[in-house]
């Protein structure tokens, strides 16, 4: 059900031939105008759909989302912007809304213009199929190197009723935590003020999608979007308080589930690890260290081999660019305390090896310099990652 | 001949059983006290030999270098420092100098204490073998995952005579440009003031060993050391001028040759690429962009596949953290101009594919924002890298 689980949304997909096979155009349409918010990639190379969707969402309103897979419409200059605007206009014409109410997203190869004939045909074929059951089809149509769709539904209490959040996402490579990572679409039948919607989305993404890394390569096309239909017959969430907290925490839960699915489906991933840094002076330093460890090719290949090679973790902590007293650093693999004050402890190698067989693998780094902490999810670096990416365009 | 090519140096090696097989203890001994200089890793996790060698070289004098492979003596606390000092003292006792005149270097697994019985036996066996022909043996004994030794000799004119620089190095993984990368040892029979020696080494390393990256993982044990015996019967280089320039440029040439050998022998490397950034406002920004591109797993896997996927280069430029106007960025693969002002040009795909078959592959990024430039050498990311590192300790 995913994005069509909340009341007020329909979805559909079409196979337009942009990808070699399978559905590649997805539509998500609300029954009426929704309050809406989004966060976008921090990459300075921003794809045309990112530029256009940012413009369209400036007023905090949206009616529909159109997504294509197979072509990122990035590095495509003015033509790319025209194409992205035309995608929005085509959908607007079909469903009867302003083009500015349509969010546009693309994912796939960079540097190639959108095949607009295929986009037009895909949209024309998808619109008549829009339905309350279309969420699963849409979730499949937005995938590229993903091996499986990523959807979730979270219910939460709101003013005596039950409201719902639905979500779908794609993402497997070019995944790094830097604002909205990958494409993620959230819907809810709660009514939420656009300003609060944006705040809740930023908080949810900061505690989920910005805390995953597959390869450290932040994409040009990342966006996370939330649409609130207000179809549940309760008063709108217009200010902070209990209702806002319920919504935000449900949105965060949905975003975390989606984030877990993405890192678990990371290109070539065979294992998932959580890197946690404790005892930092400030959270940003904890996050920076966690990210450096999580993106180290040597740490990621050790995860692949199930090798409790904690020296590589220590080396990554040391090069993270944070002023750390290495002579106080403790390391844990799972529950095994492997290093204390920057040097090896006497530990059971067999237990450490078992810690690398857990799911997720838990790497904990204790700095003993303050009270701030941070964490990130990552996956291993395998032959599969090389296979997928050595010949992606071929 | 390598480090024993300049007059005044002898070398030897021994197989002490620290590695599973092959020689693993190397000695380089000067006939008398030399002026000496070194640069060390910027990783905050500094191995014991780095700490001890920095102390010993503070006075700008050294007589010998002792190196072991197979154990990094990093993450080993106070015991590690005692062991590194004992290594120096053992060599000093054998050759008759102060322990403070001995440079100590280690490379191998992190977090394991040095097997001092094997170190003692290795040093005892190596000393009687010291000879003017021992350079090649020493160059072999310092290797870990390297597939071949790295040595070079450069001659240069000095005050009407010919002087010589010899060099040996090891390095294949945990290679990233951040001050002295890996272990590199330079010798010369010129006499050079220690202060100038240090300046020349910093400049040479900055234009060579700091401009290579295999995996972005800066090691805990990196050091580059130069010893000047002054055996050539000319006046010492005591100030800047023509002689200093001749020495510095020869040292830079030797360091570049060594750097090229290291990146070409990068773990699993099948191709080498030069990433050049032009038209930056300042050199540090050019270097940062070059490094981000060179370390991108997606760029490195595309190199592996010979895929001219320049969109990944553009995406890496955009996430480098430099304030760049992406709408002005040009990209070249070899001589093929693939992107102009941030978007695709009409280019011949077949020619772009041929550019990926060149050695080295040349990636050129033109920002058009200023006159500063930077460059870095990198290698591809292959199955071989994963194989070597998934089970390194096993």
- Write the DSSP symbol of residue B99: G
Put simply, whether B389 touches A (Cβ < 8 Å) is: yes
pTM greater than 0.80 (yes/no): no
Which residue among B44, B319, B386 places its CB closest to the CB of A381? B386
Distance to chain A for B150, nearest Cα, Å? 23
Has residue B382 got a pLDDT over 80?
A: yes
Has residue A394 got a pLDDT over 70?
A: no
CA distance A72 to A47: 7
A179-220 pLDDT, tens per residue?
334 777 888 888 888 888 888 888 888 888 777 766 666 667
Contact state of A341 with B385 under an 8 Å Cβ cutoff: no
Question: In the prediction, which pLDDT does B118 show?
Answer: 97
A101-129 pLDDT, tens per residue?
999 999 888 888 999 999 999 999 999 99
Residues A92 and A99: beta-carbon distance below 8 Å: yes
> Which of B120-129, B296-305, B357-366 shows the lowest per-residue confidence on average (mean pLDDT)?
B296-305
Put simply, whether B319 touches A (Cβ < 8 Å) is: yes
Contact state of A297 with B296 under an 8 Å Cβ cutoff: no
Question: In the prediction, which pLDDT does A215 show?
Answer: 66
Distance to chain B for A111, nearest Cα, Å? 5
More confident residue, A319 or A71: A71
CA distance A192 to B235: 82
Query: Is A92 strand, coil or helix?
Result: helix
Contact state of B315 with A219 under an 8 Å Cβ cutoff: yes
Percent of chain A past pLDDT 90, that is, above it, reads: 48
Distance to chain A for B340, nearest Cα, Å? 9
Distance to chain B for A70, nearest Cα, Å? 14
Burial B84-104 (b: 16+ CB within 10 A, else e): bbbbbebbbebbebebbbbbb
Burial B317-342 (b: 16+ CB within 10 A, else e): bbbbebebebeebbbbbbebbbbbeb
| Chain B hits for A393, Cβ within 8 Å | 307, 309
Q: What is the mean pLDDT of residues B284-306?
A: 91
Cβ neighbors of B382 (< 8 A, separation 6 or more) are A386, B268, B269, B270, B304
Contact state of A343 with B386 under an 8 Å Cβ cutoff: no
Has residue A168 got a pLDDT over 90?
A: no
Residue B23's nearest CA partner among B34, B33, B14, B11 is B14
- Measured over the CA atoms of residue A71, residue A382, residue B310 and residue A392, the dihedral's sign is negative
| Chain A hits for B350, Cβ within 8 Å | none
Question: In the prediction, which pLDDT does B173 show?
Answer: 64
Omega prior to A230 cis, within 30 of 0? no
Tell me which residue has tokens 């909205």.
A180
Interface of B with A in 22-51 (CB under 8 A): 42-46
Interface of B with A in 73-112 (CB under 8 A): 74-77, 79-80, 109-112
Has residue A235 got a pLDDT over 60?
A: yes
Put simply, whether B296 touches A (Cβ < 8 Å) is: yes
Q: What is the mean pLDDT of residues B170-182?
A: 55
Assign B170 a pLDDT band (cuts: 50, 70, 90): confident
Question: Average pLDDT of chain B?
Answer: 88
CA distance A114 to A74: 9
| Interface with chain A: mutation pick from B115, B266, B315, highest number of A CBs within 10 Å | B315
Assign A141 a pLDDT band (cuts: 50, 70, 90): very high
Question: In the prediction, which pLDDT does A178 show?
Answer: 39
Put simply, whether A349 touches B (Cβ < 8 Å) is: no
| Chain B hits for A215, Cβ within 8 Å | 296-298
Question: In the prediction, which pLDDT does B177 show?
Answer: 41
H helix or E strand, kind and range, residue A301: helix A297-305
Torsion angles phi and psi, residue B342, rounded to 5: 80, 5
CA dihedral B14, B15, B18, B24 (to 10 degrees): 50
CA distance B89 to B99: 5
Domains of chain B: residue spans and CATH? 2-264 (3.60.70.12), 272-390 (3.10.20.340)
Question: In the prediction, which pLDDT does A173 show?
Answer: 64
Distance to chain B for A102, nearest Cα, Å? 25
CA distance B16 to B10: 20
Percent of chain A past pLDDT 70, that is, above it, reads: 94
Query: Is B142 strand, coil or helix?
Result: coil
Question: In the prediction, which pLDDT does A46 show?
Answer: 84
Put simply, whether A20 touches B (Cβ < 8 Å) is: no
- String of DSSP letters for B356-390: TTSSSEEEEEE--S-SEEEEEEEE---HHHHHHHH
Query: Is B114 strand, coil or helix?
Result: coil
Has residue B46 got a pLDDT over 50?
A: yes
Assign A174 a pLDDT band (cuts: 50, 70, 90): low
Torsion angles phi and psi, residue B290, rounded to 5: -60, -40
Interface of B with A in 175-234 (CB under 8 A): 176, 178, 215-220
More confident residue, A257 or A285: A285
Put simply, whether B346 touches A (Cβ < 8 Å) is: no
Using alpha carbons only, what angle is made at residue B172 by residues B276 and B21, rounded to the nearest 5 degrees?
170
Interface of A with B in 359-388 (CB under 8 A): 381-383, 385-386, 388
A209-225 pLDDT, tens per residue?
777 766 666 667 777 77
B77-115 pLDDT, tens per residue?
899 999 999 999 999 999 999 999 999 999 888 888 999
CB atoms within 10 A of CB A117: 10
Question: In the prediction, which pLDDT does B258 show?
Answer: 83
Put simply, whether A270 touches B (Cβ < 8 Å) is: no
| Chain A hits for B79, Cβ within 8 Å | 343
Report yes or no for ipTM above 0.90: no
Contact state of A319 with B173 under an 8 Å Cβ cutoff: no
| Chain A hits for B311, Cβ within 8 Å | 72, 74-75, 109-111, 220
Give strand pairing partners of A378.
Answer: A213, A273
Burial A58-75 (b: 16+ CB within 10 A, else e): eebbbbbbbbbbbbbbbb
A32-to-A35, A137, A324 alpha-carbon distances in Å: 10, 21, 53
B144 annotated active-site: no
More confident residue, B215 or A84: A84
Catalytic residue among B107, B152, B181, B378: B181
- String of DSSP letters for B303-346: HHHT---HHHHHHHHHTSSS---GGG-EEEETTEEEEETTEE--
Contact state of B298 with A217 under an 8 Å Cβ cutoff: yes
Assign B134 a pLDDT band (cuts: 50, 70, 90): very high
Burial B39-59 (b: 16+ CB within 10 A, else e): bbbbbbbbbbbbbbbeebbee
Contact state of B309 with A393 under an 8 Å Cβ cutoff: yes
Cβ neighbors of A348 (< 8 A, separation 6 or more) are A336
Assign A393 a pLDDT band (cuts: 50, 70, 90): low
* A25-40 vs A223-228, strand pairing mode: antiparallel
Assign A177 a pLDDT band (cuts: 50, 70, 90): very low
Rounded to the nearest angstrom, the gap between the alpha carbon of residue B121 and the centroid of all alpha carbons in its chain is 28
| Interface with chain B: mutation pick from A319, A333, A381, highest number of B CBs within 10 Å | A319
Question: In the prediction, which pLDDT does B129 show?
Answer: 96
Residue B275's nearest CA partner among B320, B332, B353, B193 is B332
Contact state of A220 with B314 under an 8 Å Cβ cutoff: yes
Tokens of A150: 């990523």
Question: In the prediction, which pLDDT does B208 show?
Answer: 81
Distance to chain B for A229, nearest Cα, Å? 34
Residue A289's nearest CA partner among A259, A308, A315, A263 is A315
Has residue B43 got a pLDDT over 80?
A: no
How many residues belong to chain A?
A: 394
CA distance B222 to B211: 14
Has residue B48 got a pLDDT over 70?
A: yes
CA distance B81 to B87: 10
Distance to chain A for B183, nearest Cα, Å? 16
Question: In the prediction, which pLDDT does A224 show?
Answer: 77
Contact state of B343 with A75 under an 8 Å Cβ cutoff: yes
Q: What is the CA radius of gyration of chain B?
A: 22
Has residue A371 got a pLDDT over 90?
A: yes
Contact state of B307 with A109 under an 8 Å Cβ cutoff: no
């Amino acid at each position: 059900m995913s994005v069509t689980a909340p009341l007020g949304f329909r979805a559909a997909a079409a196979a337009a031939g942009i990808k070699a096979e399978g559905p590649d155009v997805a539509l998500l349409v609300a029954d009426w105008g929704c309050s809406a918010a989004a966060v976008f990639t921090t990459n300075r190379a921003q794809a045309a759909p990112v530029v256009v969707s940012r413009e369209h969402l400036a007023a905090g309103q949206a009616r529909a989302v159109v997504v294509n897979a197979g072509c990122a419409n990035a590095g495509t200059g003015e033509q790319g912007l025209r194409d992205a605007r035309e995608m929005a206009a085509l959908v607007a014409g079909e469903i009867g809304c302003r083009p500015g109410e349509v969010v546009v997203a693309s994912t796939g190869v960079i540097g190639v213009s959108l095949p607009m004939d295929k986009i037009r045909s895909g949209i024309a074929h998808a619109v008549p199929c829009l339905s309350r059951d279309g969420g699963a089809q849409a979730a499949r149509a937005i995938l590229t190197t993903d091996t499986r769709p990523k959807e979730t539904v979270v219910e939460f209490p709101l003013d005596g009723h039950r409201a719902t959040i639905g979500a779908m996402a794609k993402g497997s490579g070019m995944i790094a935590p830097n604002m909205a990572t990958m494409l993620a679409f959230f819907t809810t039948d709660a009514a939420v003020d656009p300003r609060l919607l944006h705040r809740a989305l930023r908080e949810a993404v900061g505690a989920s999608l910005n805390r995953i890394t597959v390869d450290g390569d932040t994409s040009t096309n990342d966006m996370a979007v939330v649409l609130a239909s207000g179809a549940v017959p309760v008063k709108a969430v217009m200010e902070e308080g209990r209702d806002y907290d319920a919504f935000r925490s449900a949105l965060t839960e949905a975003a975390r589930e989606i984030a877990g699915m993405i890192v678990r489906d990371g290109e070539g991933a065979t294992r998932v690890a959580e890197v946690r840094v404790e005892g930092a002076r400030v959270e940003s330093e904890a996050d920076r260290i966690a990210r450096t460890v999580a993106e180290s090719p040597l740490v990621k290949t050790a995860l692949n081999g199930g090798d409790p090679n904690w020296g590589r973790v220590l080396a990554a902590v040391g090069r993270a660019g944070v002023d750390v007293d290495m002579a106080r650093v403790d390391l844990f693999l799972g529950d095994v305390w492997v290093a204390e004050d920057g040097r090896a402890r006497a530990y059971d190698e067999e237990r450490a090896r078992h810690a690398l067989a857990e799911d997720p693998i838990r790497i904990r780094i204790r700095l003993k310099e303050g009270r701030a902490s941070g964490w990130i999810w990552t996956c291993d670096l395998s032959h599969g990652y090389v296979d997928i990416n050595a010949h992606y365009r071929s």
